[in-house]
Structure 1
Amino acid sequence: MCKTLFRVRIGQLQNRYFIISAIVALLFAGAVVGYAIPMEKQEVPARVILDNTGGRIVFAHQAHAVEYGGDCVDCHHDGVEGESYLPCGACHPAEFDEQFRLNHPKAFSDQKACLRCHDGVPAGPLPEDQWPDVESIPTRGEAFHSLCMGCHEENGGPYGDDACYQCHAR
C-alpha cells in the first residue's frame, strides 16, 4: 500500500511539474513572438521624457500635438525628425560652457546650419571676439520655459510660480 501511495504522489508531482513547465514554455514563446514582431512606428510619440536639473518632465507629446491641435513647428522650429531636424541642445545648451563649445560643431550634419548664428562657416575653434552673441540665444531651460509657459499662459494651462511641479517631477 505504501509503494502504491508513493507512486501516486510521484505521478501527481510529475503532472504538476508538466503543467507548470507547459505554462512557462507558452509564456516564453509568447514573449519571443511579441519581441520579434516589430511595432508600428508611431507618427507622434505618446510621451517624451525631458531630463533636467529642475526635475524630469514626462511630456504628453501626443496630447499636445493631436488633442490640443499643436502644429509641429510650434515647438520644433527647426523641422521635424527626418526633415532636417536638429535636437534642441544643438543650439540651446544647458549653459554656454567649454563643453558646449567643443561638442557644438558635431551636432550639425550640414554646414549651412552654421550660418544661422555665425557670419561664415567656422574652420575651427573661433576666437572669443567672433563668438555669436549668446545673450540673444536662450539656454535650453530658457527656451523651454518661454515656449511652454507662454503657450500655457495663452491657453489657460498650468502657469505661474506655483505650477512648477505640475510638469517637473520632484
Structure 2
Amino acid sequence: MQSRYFLISVIVTVLLAVAAAGYLIPVEKQEVQARVVMDNTGGRVIFTHKFHADDYGFDCTDCHHDDIEADTFLSCGSCHPKEFDADFRANHQNNFPSEEACLRCHDDVPTGELAEEDRPDIENIPLRADAFHAQCMDCHEENGGPYGDDTCYECHAR
C-alpha cells in the first residue's frame, strides 16, 4: 500500500517539476509570430502567420507597408481603424514611432486640430476589415488559396 503512495508522490513531484520548468524557463522570441487572431463580424479568423511566411515564402513587405522606415511593422489598426470615429481621430497619432509616418496620410505633420479641408480623404483609406479582406482575398485569388463566395468558412470560424 505504501509503495503505491510513494509511486504517486514521485509522479506528482516529476509533473510539478516539469510544470515549474515550463513556467520559469523563458521562451525565446520568435522571429515570425505563429498566429494572428482577428475578431470580426464574419467570424473569428486565425491567420497562420508563420505558415504563410515560412511555408509559402511570402516576404513581410508582401502584406505589411514598409515605407515609414520603422524597426518593426505597425499595427494595421494604426492607419486602418475599425471605424473613423472621434476616438481614432483623437488618439491614432500615439500609434506611430515618428512624425515621418504622418506623411502617409497628411500633407504636413499636423500640429493641432485640422480644418476640414486639411483632413485626409478617408473615403480612400479602407477600414481595417475592408483592408484585411481585400488583401487576403486578392492574395488567395492570385495564389490559389480559398477564394469565392462559398469558401468563407475555410478562414472564418462559425
TM-score scaled by length of structure 2: 0.89
Q: How many Å apart are 1:27 and its aligned residue? A: 0.7
Q: How many Å apart are 1:125 and its aligned residue? A: 2.9
CA distance in 2, matches of 1:77, 1:119: 18
Higher relative contact order by CA 8 Å / sep ≥ 6: 1 or 2? 2
Partner of 2:134: 146
Partner of 1:110: 98
CA distance in 2, matches of 1:130, 1:104: 17
Q: How many Å apart are 1:143 and its aligned residue? A: 0.9
Is the alpha carbon distance of 1:45 and 1:109 closer, same or farther for their aligned partners in structure 2, counting shifts above 3 Å? Answer: closer
CA distance in 2, matches of 1:74, 1:37: 34
Deviating beyond 4 angstroms after TM superposition, the runs of 4 or more aligned structure 1 residues are: none
> Which of 127, 142, 148 is residue 160 of structure 1 equivalent to?
148
Q: How many Å apart are 1:122 and its aligned residue? A: 1.4
Structure (1 or 2) with the larger CA radius of gyration: 1
CA distance in 2, matches of 1:153, 1:66: 20
The alignment partner of 2:113 has SS state of coil
Q: How many Å apart are 1:141 and its aligned residue? A: 1.1
In the TM superposition, what are the counterparts of 1:8-157 in structure 2 within 5 Å?
12=1, 14-78=2-66, 83-157=71-145
Deviates more, 1:156-165 or 1:120-129: 120-129
2:146 alignment partner AA: P
Cα RMSD for the two superposed structures: 1.7
CA distance in 2, matches of 1:126, 1:78: 26
**Count of equivalent residues:** 156
Q: How many Å apart are 1:162 and its aligned residue? A: 1.5
Partner of 1:5: none
TM-score scaled by length of structure 1: 0.83
Is the alpha carbon distance of 1:52 and 1:78 closer, same or farther for their aligned partners in structure 2, counting shifts above 3 Å? Answer: farther
